[in-house]
Amino acid sequence: MINIILPDKSVRKYDAGITGLDIAKDISPRLAKEVLSITVNGELTDLTRPIEKDADIMLHKFSDPQGKHAFWHSSSHLMAEALATLYPGIKFAIGPAIENGFYYDVDLPEGTVISENDFPKIEKTMIELARQKNPFIRKEISKKEALEYYEKQQDQYKTELINELEDGNITFYTQGNFTDLCRGTHLPHTGFIKAVKLLNVAGAYWRGDEKNKQLTRIYGISFPKQKMLTEYLEMLEQAKLRDHRKLGKELELFTFSPKVGMGLPLWLPKGADLRLRLEDFLTKELRKRGYVMVMSPHIGNVDLYKTSGHYYKYAEDSFRPINTPQEGEEFMLKPMNCPHHVEMYKFKQYSYKDLPIRMAEFGTVYRYEQHGELHGLTRVRSFTQDDAHVFCRPDQLKDEFKAIIDLVFYVFKVFNFNDFSTQISLRDPDNHEKYIGTNENWDKAEKAILETVEEKGLEATVETGEAAFYGPKLDFIVKDVLGRAWQLGTIQIDYNLPERFELEYKGSDNELHQPIMIHRAIFGSMERFIALMIEHTAGKFPLWITPDQAVILPISDKFNDYAKKVSDLLKNYDIRSLIDDRNEKIGRKIRDNELKRIPFLLVVGEKEVSSNTVSVRKQGQGDQGSMSIEAFAKMVNNEVENEIKYN
RNA sequence: GCCUCAGUAGCUCAGUGGUAGAGCAACUGCCUCGUAAGUAGUAGGUCAUGGGUUCGAAUCCCUUCUGAGGCUCCA
């Protein structure tokens, strides 16, 4: 007999060799129907594997991440089986579970393509195979045998994968007529998969390398109940309604014109208004925190970028240098603001008492992003960074770094970005060519980031090879409405540019010292931030109150009940004077159908601006008198909060 | 740059080889009038672009441009 310890610490005794599935059956028949995978002594594994010794176990249902993982991984195998049936000669590369669903990379026989039109028949085959309730059978296999199996099929992908695996550590999983190299975890059988939807097809390079062959990647998602799939698809549709590209058009915030050039956003009046107010908000905050605002031109002599290293790093794939009538003279559209700020630092000599110098600019930069990478406002070719560079002494570095983290937290809180992740990006130690500067400098910079993050108690993932070419960084990442991750805020420590530009300050010892540079952005770029802000707030927080600023953001009743209710509530108020205020044709009577079309009322109320007063009258309650826009926004917001229990 | 798909009126879309359509928006009347679609009429398209097949192309084929979802890239 062995002891099985459940998460609640209760102990059950079973014969050795019992499986997770049997334990589940023993606990309750309903659990047995829902359970998908099991963790045995900390190791995620199949429910059908025998447990031979005493163990702590945890059973996973679809509601658990581990359950979903097994479910979608098995779905991936099921799709592979269906594809193998429908497309003889197909070869399989890798097919993992992902955050929402699964994919499989396949190499199709010459001349075959899979498009979305083929999805229904693949889905149908998958469901037919699933209904057979074929068990997933695990088999340990020697490296030699495994290689023979795939070499016979002339499958270079699996062969390559197996060659990298250790002998004795290789397993195959078989369901029905399909066998795949796989380390698991899988469902007991395919019958759990009741609903399948293939989502899209895409090209993907083998092993993610552009030089390799491009495979066909098919994305899908599956569920244990048809209803869950329907709900998921409904959720996706809802999400698409909040897409910033759609809203940007509807709300007349921004547009693109092929004639101007793709990836070059045109800010329409309302969008420009929104952006200016955001810039204003941040500028005030920066001044409070000891920053000075500067401005720099949009171009610079190539020599500037040669010194900074940008020229060698980016000239080839970037906008081409601009020639002048002068022979041999070249300018570049600035891809970054740093070198300009560095030259401003060099304008005069600084004492150690002057530091830190915190230089901020809403600096527009130009980068020739790859054609296929352009994406709404989140990836563009001309964008404005809320950029700043802090020049400080070594003893000030950590405090400055922490102050910036605090600023990021403050701003994210103000705009309700509560769900963000933090990532430390270090250099790739095997690829020195990607970076400038000495190992010594890099070690210092990376150490400073790691220590500061530790001291701050921040939880951050660490990624190697993701650093900027001049220094490591701490990034703040927010997801868009469809779950794509975008970097907004970034803080980067740089010992290299100060060295290259020979920056210095006079220390208390009367010697010259080199300052350390911190590059940082809070919004990241105005474009990307506004894009995510639109998606995060649409239909969710139509009115926003910050401690000292009132912001009314996009209002549209098309997205969900919450916005609809707010919209209804606003109808109880006479806000004509507010709208007249926002309308250039002041004094003209606003027509009914015009009012309903005003898609957003954007106001950043500032106490010192007295003209931002509205006279408000609530229907049925008579005149409420004049009040500031801020007060009005607060009042409406309170009412909304009271009326709707929003969680 | 690569893979799959798409582009018809300002917007949302119908139209699969035989005379370019609808709703909304716009404009002009009329009726109403403070708050989510009053009413009649008018105007609006080289069917993204260039080429080809055909008696005939929005429709089939190719080029280019742009967009969508991925991959690669991302300062």
Give percent above pLDDT 90 in chain A.
51
Higher pLDDT, A234 or A516: A516
**Nearest nucleotide, CA A200 to C1':** B69
- Name which of A90, A14, A5, A93 is nearest A55 in CA terms: A5
Arithmetic mean of pLDDT, A409-426:
87
Query: Using one digit for the tens of pLDDT, what is the confidence trace for A215-240?
Result: 999 999 999 999 999 989 888 887 88
**Nearest nucleotide, CA A215 to C1':** B3
Distance from C-alpha of A375 to C-alpha of A245, rounded to nearest angstrom: 9
Query: Using one digit for the tens of pLDDT, what is the confidence trace for A624-646?
Result: 555 555 556 556 656 655 554 43
**Nearest nucleotide, CA A373 to C1':** B73
Distance from C-alpha of A350 to C-alpha of A358, rounded to nearest angstrom: 13
Distance from C-alpha of A619 to C-alpha of A629, rounded to nearest angstrom: 18
**Nearest nucleotide, CA A115 to C1':** B4
Joined together, the tokens standing for residue A2 give 């062995």
**Nearest nucleotide, CA A113 to C1':** B4
A322 CA to B45 C1' distance (Å): 40
A588 CA to B30 C1' distance (Å): 21
- pLDDT given for residue A525 in this prediction: 95
Q: For chain A, report the end-to-end CA distance as a whole number of angstroms.
A: 48
Let me know if A385 is a catalytic residue. Answer: yes
Distance from C-alpha of A555 to C-alpha of A218, rounded to nearest angstrom: 37
Distance from C-alpha of A254 to C-alpha of A527, rounded to nearest angstrom: 10
Contact A505, A513 (CB under 8 A): yes
Catalytic residue among A243, A338, A381, A536: A338
- pLDDT given for residue A270 in this prediction: 75
Let me know if A519 is a catalytic residue. Answer: yes
A539 CA to B40 C1' distance (Å): 38
Place of tokens 């300018």: A331
Statement: residue A399 has pLDDT above 70: yes
List bases, strand B, within 7 Å of protein CB: 1-5, 11-12, 25-26, 33-38, 65-75
Contact A537, A554 (CB under 8 A): yes
Amino acid at A601: L
Radius of gyration of chain A (CA): 30
Backbone angles phi, psi at A2, to 5 degrees: -125, 155
Let me know if A207 is a catalytic residue. Answer: no
Strand spans (E) along A372-498? 382-392, 420-426, 461-464, 473-479, 485-494
Read off the pLDDT band of A309 (50, 70, 90).
confident
Catalytic residue among A379, A473, A528, A536: A473
Let me know if A367 is a catalytic residue. Answer: yes
Catalytic residue among A367, A381, A427, A528: A367
Let me know if A289 is a catalytic residue. Answer: no
Let me know if A154 is a catalytic residue. Answer: no
Catalytic residue among A387, A475, A480, A557: A387
Amino acid at A504: E
Statement: residue A568 has pLDDT above 70: no
Catalytic residue among A91, A186, A340, A389: A389
Amino acid at A210: E
A238 CA to B22 C1' distance (Å): 26
Read off the pLDDT band of A647 (50, 70, 90).
very low
Let me know if A338 is a catalytic residue. Answer: yes
- Name which of A372, A375, A344 is nearest A358 in CA terms: A344
Joined together, the tokens standing for residue A501 give 């530009």
A592 CA to B37 C1' distance (Å): 10
- pLDDT given for residue A192 in this prediction: 94
- pLDDT given for residue A555 in this prediction: 40
Catalytic residue among A77, A313, A379, A519: A519
A227 CA to B48 C1' distance (Å): 40
Distance from C-alpha of A404 to C-alpha of A448, rounded to nearest angstrom: 14
Backbone angles phi, psi at A279, to 5 degrees: -60, -40
- pLDDT given for residue A195 in this prediction: 95
Number of helices (H) and strands (E) in chain A: give both, helices first: 20, 37
Statement: residue A574 has pLDDT above 70: no
Burial class (CB in 10 A: 0-12, 13-18, 19+), A93: buried
A591 CA to B9 C1' distance (Å): 25
Higher pLDDT, A80 or A419: A80
